[in-house]
Structure 1
Amino acid sequence: MKTREDTLHWVDRKGRIGGIIHWLDLLLLLAVVMLMIRTIIVSWPRFDRKEQKDIRLEILVLGFSTDLAESIAIGQWVKDQASGEFMGKIIQKEAFPTQVKARGFGELNKPALFEKQDLILVLERSGRINEREGIFLGKETIRSGQERLFHTLYTEFPGKISRISVVRE
C-alpha cells in the first residue's frame, strides 16, 4: 500500500517542497511575481506609430442666424467649448442660401432677423494620427459625425463634424 510519502516524495512531512519552501508560500510568491510582471507590462509605453500631419475638418452648421453667420470669418480660430481645445483655423467658408437680405447695424428689419443660413466651415490644423486610437487635436480624439458646441472669439455655434481629411504633402 502506497502512503502519502511515496506519492509525493518531493514534499516532506511539513509540506515543504524539497525541504526548502512550503507549497503555499510558493503559490503566494508566484502570485506576487505575476502581479509585478503585469504591472510592468501595463505601465510600459506603447510602441504605436504617431505622426504629425495637417488635418482638415469640415464643420456643418445648420439653421444658423444670418447675423451670427456674418460674424464668422476666414482666418478666425475655432475652439471646442467642452474641452477647450483649438480645432483649427477657418480656411474656407460657404453659406447657403447665398442671397440674404443685408441688414444694417442697429437697423430693425424683422424678416432679416429671422432668416436662417446653413454654413460649411473648413478648418485646418496639425494633429497627431495614432493608428489604434484615431486622430487627435490636442488631447481629444475627433471623429466624423460628432456634434459639438464650437466658438470663435465672437460667436458660439453648434456644429457637426461632417468630414475629416489628412492633407497630403
Structure 2
Amino acid sequence: MPDELTHFNDQNRAKMVDVTDKAVTHRVALATGQITMHPETLDRIHEGKIKKGDVLAVAQVAGIMAAKQTSSLIPMCHLIPLTGVDIHFEDNNTDTITVTAQVKTKHVTGVEIEALLAVQTTLLTIYDMCKAIDRGMLISNVHLVEKDGGKSGHFDFDEADRA
C-alpha cells in the first residue's frame, strides 16, 4: 500500500490531485453490490408489477447517469470523459439482485469511483422503486471487483484478503 497521501497541499489542506503530467491510457473498473429483499418483492419485479414501473430499466439508466455525474457529487474526483458504462443484473430467483457496473475511459485517471457510484445509485433506485412494499431491503457487499490501467496497473478484489 502506498504511504504517500496525495490529496493534501503544503498547508495540510485538502486538494484535488494534479494529474496534468499523467499519461492517457485505457482504464476500466468493475464494481458490484447486492440488494436483498422479500421473495415477494423480487417476484413482483420479475412480473413487472411494481407501481413505479420497470424497476431494472429505470435503475440501469440511473446508474449510468450517476457514473456520468461523479465529479459533481464526490468533491475530489476529476471530471472524466467516459467512453462506456454498462450495468448488469443477476438474481438468485429468491431474494437478492446483484448489480455489476463496468466503466471505461481513455484518460489520465481511473474510473473506480464512477463504477462504485453507478452500483450504489442502481441499488438505491431499486430500493426507491420498491420501498412502498418492502422497506426492509438490505444493500450490501458493494466493492470494487477489478480495475485496470494507469500507473498502479491491475487490481483484482481478493475475498481472502478481507478475512
The interval holding the TM-score normalised by the smaller chain is 0.3 to 0.5
Q: Which has the higher contact order (CA 8 A, sep 6+)?
A: 2
TM-score (norm: length of structure 1): 0.35
Indicate the structure (1 or 2) with the bigger Cα radius of gyration: 1
